[in-house]
Amino acid sequence: MYQASSHYATLYRALRPRLAWRDGGDFPAWRAQLHAALVEALGLPAMAQDLADHRPHAERVDGETCDGFVRERWRLWVEPTVPLPFYLLKPLAVGGRLPLVLTPHGHNHPPIYAGVVADEAERRSMLDGQRDIAVQAVREGYLAIAPTTRAFGETRTEKDQRDGKLSSCRTALMHGLLVGRTPIGERVWDMQRLLDWALAELPVDAKRVAITGNSGGGTVSLFAAAVDPRFTAAAPGCYFNTFAGSIGSIHHCDCNYIPGIMRLAEMADIAGLCAPRPFRVIAGVQDEIFPIAETRHAFAQLQRIYAAAGVAQACSLHEGDGGHRYYSAGAWPFLREAFAQASRA
């Protein structure tokens, strides 16, 4: 009898990704080839062509002084028809150029990462899962941008907003397929445009720019850092794994899928594009949708790639003792050291 899980597992095992890293290869040549192929797979050239004449502009909505920092709401027109909401968090005292941390969120309400909650239940969820990541960043003394992940919040469809649905990810995927885009590609595009704006308008130290988020935010963090070397450090939370062992075998949101990605490379290869920049994998040993055994397997491959780049110690793995949530202990000590090294360079 037909068994879907067996069918797809067999299909995955038969694949030989054409740009997977193979020990003994020419690392710079491999990285250049995979980077170009990944950018194409994400649909970024199509977006660049469609938006060649667009110049993003930002608008401040409002702001407030909090305990030790300023929190402002902004919108950035990443496309003529897409005003992307984001929070900008700044230390009260800003002297000189500061590190910048972008904190894309996962499948939750966008304001949580900036410490804004709708009710007590959301506040408990935020604190228990350490999800106020932009607040944590600004308390470290960094500038922080907490963007809305496209297809969430104000970027959901009108119907999904009326119906109270968390996201419009399936709509984003289906329409994207028709025009050569992907949800991950659109989200990477948004991170790049936010970074363009921040480097032009804020006192950012361009040598110290990081991206970190959890779950879907980890997805965006990994792919944005792989595509854009201006992210000088990355710490994706509860995402880094194998495609086959996570989104290929466990139910996940439609936004995770990139056509043909497993014929191109595995996730460790994508992360390997970040070398020689510092890269920290954050994982939960009890995460049921990104299993720790697959994370460890993928990390071993990532270590081989970083070793080939001559920076074996620049990638690391932090394992939290719980489930699918953010682990601050895996992020901030890592970023402090990454930023310190960048300052010394």
Residue 62 exposure: Cα atoms within 13 Å on the Cβ side: 1
Residue 229's contacts (CB-CB under 8 Å, 6 or more residues apart) are 277
Secondary structure element (H or E) that encloses residue 206, with its range: strand 204-211
202 vs 177: CA distance, rounded Å:
35
Residue 4 exposure: Cα atoms within 13 Å on the Cβ side: 4
pLDDT band at 301 (very low <50, low <70, confident <90, very high): very high
pLDDT band at 109 (very low <50, low <70, confident <90, very high): confident
The whole-number pLDDT of residue 95 equals: 83
131 vs 319: CA distance, rounded Å:
17
SS3 83: strand
Nearest to 289 by CA among 222, 223, 219, 186: 219
The answer to whether residue 94 scores a pLDDT higher than 90 is no
pLDDT band at 201 (very low <50, low <70, confident <90, very high): very high
Q: Considering the entire predicted model, what is its pTM?
A: 0.97
The whole-number pLDDT of residue 53 equals: 97
Averaged pLDDT, 31-52: 98
What are 340's strand-pairing partners? none
340 vs 316: CA distance, rounded Å:
17
The whole-number pLDDT of residue 285 equals: 98
Percent of the chain whose predicted confidence (pLDDT) is above 70: 100
What pLDDT digit, counting tens, does each position of 226-263 carry? Answer: 999 999 999 999 999 999 999 999 999 999 999 999 99
The whole-number pLDDT of residue 112 equals: 95
What pLDDT digit, counting tens, does each position of 154-197 carry? Answer: 999 999 999 999 999 999 999 999 999 999 999 999 999 999 99
Nearest to 311 by CA among 263, 345, 287: 345
The answer to whether residue 93 scores a pLDDT higher than 90 is no
Length of the chain (residues): 345
The whole-number pLDDT of residue 243 equals: 98
The answer to whether residue 12 scores a pLDDT higher than 90 is yes
| Residue in the block written with tokens 């932009």 | 134
| Backbone dihedral region for residue 98 (phi beyond 0: left; psi -120 to 50: alpha; all else: beta) | beta
The whole-number pLDDT of residue 156 equals: 97
Is the model more confident about 31 or about 94? 31
Percent of the chain whose predicted confidence (pLDDT) is above 90: 97
- Mean pLDDT (the chain) is 97
The whole-number pLDDT of residue 345 equals: 80
48 vs 44: CA distance, rounded Å:
6
Give the orientation angle of helix 27-42 with respect to helix 183-201, to 10 degrees.
Answer: 110
For the chain, list the domains and their CATH numbers. Answer: 21-344 (3.40.50.1820)
Say how many C-beta atoms besides its own lie within 10 A of residue 138's C-beta: 27
What pLDDT digit, counting tens, does each position of 83-92 carry? Answer: 999 999 999 9
Edge-to-edge order in the sheet of strand 233-234? 58-65, 69-79, 82-91, 143-147, 98-102, 204-211, 233-234, 279-284, 315-320
Secondary structure element (H or E) that encloses residue 281, with its range: strand 279-284
Per-residue tokens: 163: 């119906």
Per-residue tokens: 220: 């965006």
On the 0-12 / 13-18 / 19+ scale of CB atoms within 10 A, 97 is: middle
The answer to whether residue 29 scores a pLDDT higher than 90 is yes
Alpha carbon dihedral 249, 259, 219, 81, in 10-degree steps, equals: -140
